[in-house]
Structure 1
C-alpha cells in the first residue's frame, strides 16, 4: 500500500494507542449535533445562492468543532469524572451554537460567534491543556478563529461572510500547516474511525427526519408524495450502504496500516468526511423541496443540492482509492457521473418525485454493483493493503 502522505520525509515510528470503546457521553454530545445539522440544512434552502455560502461556512465552523472534540476524546479515557464533565459542558455550549444556526447570519450572529469561541475554549482548557504545543490547530480556534467570528458578527453583511469564511478556512488548513509537528501523533484507530462513522449516522439520521417532517402534518398524502418518501428513504439507505457496508472498513485498514497515521486522519477523516457530511446535508435540503412540491421540477438550486450532494458523497472514496492505491473505483465514478448528469433534468424537466426516484436508483445501483461484483466495481482487495 502506498501511504497517504504529502512529504517525502521519513515517517516516525508509531505505537497505536490502546483501544477504548466510544463512551456514551460522546453519543450524548452527538445528539446536539443532530440539531445543528437540521439548522444547516435550513440555511442551504434559504436566501438563494447566498444561502449556499452561509450553509457552507457554518458547516465548516461547526464540523471543525466536532472534529477536534472527537479526536481529543479518542486519545484519552473519557469515562473519568473530569472528562465526562468537560464533554457535558461542551454539549451545553454546542447546544447554544445549534440554537443560533438558523439566524447565524442575522439576529443571532454574535451569539453564534461567542458560543463557538466558548466551545473551543472549553476544549482547550478542559482536555488539551499543556498538549497545545502539539495540537496547535486546537489553539488556533481560541486565538484566531474566535476573534474573527466575533469581529464578523459585529460588522455584519459581506464583512461577516468574509471574516467567517476566513476563520473556517484557517481552521481547516491548520492541520496541513502544522503537519511536521503533528505527524508523530498516535491514534486509537478503531475509536476515531467509529467516531467519524457516528457523525455520518447523525447526518443520515437528520436526513431521515427530514423525509417525514414536510408531510407530518398533512391531512392527506397522494401517490406522488408517497413515491417521493419511498425514494428519499431508498436514497438515504443507499448512501448508508455505500459507506458502512463497503467504505468504513477501508478507512480503518488505511489508518491501521499507514506509516503516518496523521495523514490518513487529516485527508480521509477530517477533509474527506467534511465532503461526505456536506453531501448528505445537501441531499436532505434537496429532497425537502421535493416532498413539499413533488409535481414540479426542482429548479436549479435544489437540483444541484440533491444531485451534486450524491456525487460528492460518492467522490470521496473514488478519490481515496485513486490517491492511495492508484486504482479506479469504477462504481463510484459511474455513480458520480450519473448524478451530475441528472442535475439539469431534475432542474428543468423531471417532476420532483421522478428526479428523487432517479437519484435513489443511482445510489442503489452503485451499492448493488459493489455488493454483487466487487472486483468489477473496483472495491479494494486485501492485497491492496500489503
Structure 2
C-alpha cells in the first residue's frame, strides 16, 4: 500500500507526489546551497554577494528544470538513473562553487557539471516530446551551459562577465519563451510540494549556520538568547510560507487560467527570491550568534533584516500574480524590516535579532487572528483575477 501511495498519479497523468529518488537529489542540492551560503558568510560584501548569486542561480534553474522534467514521466529505473546522474552533476557544481570564480580546475568542474546536467535534462524532455519546436527552454539551456564552459577557460573579470551574461540570459528565458512553457503538463500537487521542499532546504541552512557558529564559541547567556531568537525566526519564516502561502500556490495551480504563468512567475522567479532571502537570513543569523552583543558598524549587519524583508515582500508579488492583490500585512512587515535594516549596523546584533523575531511573529499572529476570526486579510494593488477565484 505504501509503495502504491508513493507512485500515485494525477488524473492528467502527471506525478502527484515526490519520489524517494527526488528526495535523494534534494540532499545533494542541499549541499550545493550550503556551499553558496558559505561564499557569502566567509566575507560578506557586495563582491561575494554577487559571486554567491552567480553560483546559486545555475543551481536553482537546474533544480527547477529537474522538477519540471520528472513531473511529466512515470517513475522507472531509467528515470531513477537519470536523477542519480543529475545528482552527481549537481554534486560537482556544489564542490566547485566556492572557488569557481578564481580557480581554473574548479571553474571547469562547475561549468562542465552544469553542461552535463543540461544535456541530461534535454534528453529527458526530448524523449517525452512536450515541445513542438526545436528551440525551447531546455534546448536553450544547453547553449547557456556551453557559454559557462567557454568562460571557464578565461580568468578574472572576463570569466565573471561571460558567466554573468549567460546566467542573466538564462534567467530571462522563461519570460521570453513563456508561450513554449504552455506546452508542458503541470502537476498541481507535485510541483508545489517540490518547491516547498526547496524552501525547507533553505530554512535548514539557517539551522545549520547558526548551530555551527554556536558550537564553535563559548556558551554564554547572550549566545543562548541568540540561539533561541534565531530558532524563533526560523519557525516564523516557516509559518509565513507553509501556513497560507503553500496552500495558496496549490490552489492557484488548480484554478488559474494558465498554470504556466504560476510556474514561471510564482514558482520559478518568486521562489528564487524567497530562497535568496532565506540564505541572507542564514548568513545574518550566523554572524549574530558569533558576536551577539557586538555593534559592527558594518553594512553586513543588515543581512538578517534584509533577507527577512525579501522573504515577506516576495509574498506580496506572488500573491498579486496568483490572485490579483497583495497582502497588506506582509508588505507592511517587509517595509518595517527594511527600516530595521537601515539601523542594524548601529545596534547590538542581538537587538536586531530580537526585533526581527518580534516583527515576524507579529505578522504571523495578526494573520492567524484575522483568519481565525473570519476577517479578510487587507489587500493592496488590486487587479482583475484571471479565474474569478481568490483565496483569503
Shared fold (TM-score, shorter chain, > 0.5):
yes
Query: Which residue among 365, 370, 373 is the counterpart of 2:370?
Result: 373
Query: Which residue among 251, 261, 264 is the counterpart of 1:263?
Result: 261
Instruction: Give me the whole-angstrom Cα distance separating, in 2, the residues matched to 1:183 and 1:21.
Output: 22
Instruction: Give me the whole-angstrom Cα distance separating, in 2, the residues matched to 1:133 and 1:237.
Output: 41
The residue aligned with 2:56 is 59
Query: Relative to 1, partners in 2 of residues 1:140 and 1:299: Cα closer, same or farther, differing over 3 Å?
Result: farther
5 Å matches for 1:1-386?
A: 16-45=12-41, 46=43, 48-78=45-75, 80-107=76-103, 108-129=106-127, 131=129, 133-134=131-132, 136-142=136-142, 144-218=143-217, 220-347=218-345, 349-374=346-371, 375=375, 377-378=377-378, 384=390
**Range 293-302 or range 257-266, more displaced:** 293-302
Query: Relative to 1, partners in 2 of residues 1:58 and 1:249: Cα closer, same or farther, differing over 3 Å?
Result: same
Q: Is the 8 A contact 2:32 2:95 kept in 1?
A: yes
Q: Is the 8 A contact 1:300 1:344 kept in 2?
A: no
* Offset, 1:207: 1.5
Q: Is the 8 A contact 1:290 1:298 kept in 2?
A: no
Stretches of structure 1 that go unaligned for 5 or more consecutive residues are 1-14
C-alpha deviations, 1:83-110, integer Å up to 9, x for none?
0010011111111111111112122222
Q: Is the 8 A contact 1:279 1:312 kept in 2?
A: yes
* Offset, 1:23: 0.4
Instruction: Give me the whole-angstrom Cα distance separating, in 2, the residues matched to 1:60 and 1:346.
Output: 28
Q: Is the 8 A contact 1:124 1:132 kept in 2?
A: no
C-alpha deviations, 1:94-153, integer Å up to 9, x for none?
1111111111212222211111111111222245436274581111121x2112112222
Q: CA RMSD in A?
A: 2.1
Instruction: Give me the whole-angstrom Cα distance separating, in 1, the residues matched to 2:16 and 2:319.
Output: 28
Number of positions where the alignment pairs a residue of Structure 1 with one of Structure 2 = 367
TM-score by length of 1: 0.89
SS in 2 for 1:247: helix
Instruction: Give me the whole-angstrom Cα distance separating, in 1, the residues matched to 2:152 and 2:293.
Output: 40
**Range 108-117 or range 265-274, more displaced:** 108-117
Stretches of structure 2 that go unaligned for 5 or more consecutive residues are 1-10, 381-387
* Offset, 1:19: 4.4
Instruction: Give me the whole-angstrom Cα distance separating, in 2, the residues matched to 1:28 and 1:204.
Output: 18
Instruction: Give me the whole-angstrom Cα distance separating, in 1, the residues matched to 2:216 and 2:298.
Output: 27
SS in 2 for 1:185: coil
Instruction: Give me the whole-angstrom Cα distance separating, in 2, the residues matched to 1:333 and 1:105.
Output: 36
Higher RCO, Cα 8 Å, sep 6+ = 1
Query: Relative to 1, partners in 2 of residues 1:18 and 1:304: Cα closer, same or farther, differing over 3 Å?
Result: same
* Offset, 1:300: 4.0
Q: Is the 8 A contact 1:330 1:376 kept in 2?
A: no
TM-score by length of 2: 0.88
Query: Relative to 1, partners in 2 of residues 1:191 and 1:325: Cα closer, same or farther, differing over 3 Å?
Result: closer
